[in-house]
Amino acid sequence: MLVQKIKTVGISLVVFAALMLTWETVVRVKQIPSYLIPTPSDVYFALVRGLGEGLYTRHIVTTMTEVFVGFGIALVLALVLGVFIALNRTIETYVYPYIIMFQSMPKVALAPVLVIWFGLGITSKIVTVALITFFPILVNTIAGLRSADLDRINLMRSLGATRWQVFRMLQFPGALPFIMAGIEVGIIMALLGAIVAEFIGAEAGLGMLLQSMNATLDVAGQFSILIILSAIGLTMNKAVGFLGDRLLFWDASRKSRSKKVM
């Protein structure tokens, strides 16, 4: 197993090195201007320079603050509202249609309005992130809570279980795989939402930095930021997946997925 893993990583590194070498060679031989397509070496030096000077660090902190705070707000609201909607048909009848209508609105179109309301600071970005990530978690929460087997619910009630006990021991544990799936989708959407919101207007952040580099035709710098964003997205996805595997160790679907990855 270990030998196969080392072999897979080695092949991936060789393919990556070959792609980078081909990219570098083609750009230099064809003498393509750097403001159109930079070489991998230019991107590397831009990345090292930006990190070394601390320029990227400040903007990374701003963007990640927007991501985590906005995502945290969306997570809490989606879980609370999802529980009420899933367990109460009256609330679903009167509240859920408005949520669907609001979700149908493009959040990119709302971003300029949020900037007007909350300013260019991180508040407007946090609100945008929360709005974008709220719905996937809400839908998965509702679907998970309603996936509980009706026969088991009736059995627990026949044994004298209260509504809270049925929720705590059966419905919520059964909904956790659905909720984690919503979180895995939502955390990536949170990063995208923060960047889009910073495009509209911001004082700091990786999205704002991308816009400023675009104005100065610093394409190598833009590529280096895209690498940072890709690394952040991958790290967050792996972290959520790791957390899900630890929390849902009893879930058969996660066990099978982990074996496939290995």
Predicted confidence (pLDDT) at residue 123 exceeds the cutoff of 60:
yes
Tell me the three-class secondary structure of 6-38, residue by residue: HHHHHHHHHHHHHHHHHHHHHHHHCCCCCCCCC
**pLDDT: is 247 or 252 the higher one?**
247
Tell me, what's the pLDDT at 256? 53
User: Cα–Cα distance between 56 and 106 in angstroms, integer?
Assistant: 29
Structure tokens at 112: 């300029």
- The most distant pair of C-alpha atoms in the chain lies apart, rounded to whole Å, by 78
Residue 143's contacts (CB-CB under 8 Å, 6 or more residues apart) are 175, 178
Is the separation of the CB atoms in 133 and 76 below 8 Å?
no
Question: Residue 159 gets which letter from DSSP?
Answer: T
The mean pLDDT value for 31-44 works out to: 86
Q: Which helix (H) or strand (E) holds 71?
A: helix 55-87
147 closest CA partner among 79, 80, 86: 86
- Local structure of residue 167 (DSSP, 8 states): I
CA distance 168 to 170: 6
For the CA atoms of 142, 148, 150, 152, the dihedral, rounded to the nearest 10 degrees, stands at -150
Q: How many H helices and E strands in the chain?
A: 12, 0
User: What pLDDT does residue 77 have?
Assistant: 94
Question: How do residues 176-202 score in pLDDT, each as one tens digit?
Answer: 888 998 999 999 999 998 998 888 888
Position 229 pLDDT exceeds 90: yes
Confidence band (pLDDT; 50, 70, 90) for 251? Answer: low
pLDDT of residue 191: 92
Query: What band does 244 get if pLDDT is binned at 50, 70 and 90?
Result: confident
Check residue 253 and give its pLDDT: 62
Distances (CA, A) of 175 to 86, 169, 210: 11, 11, 39
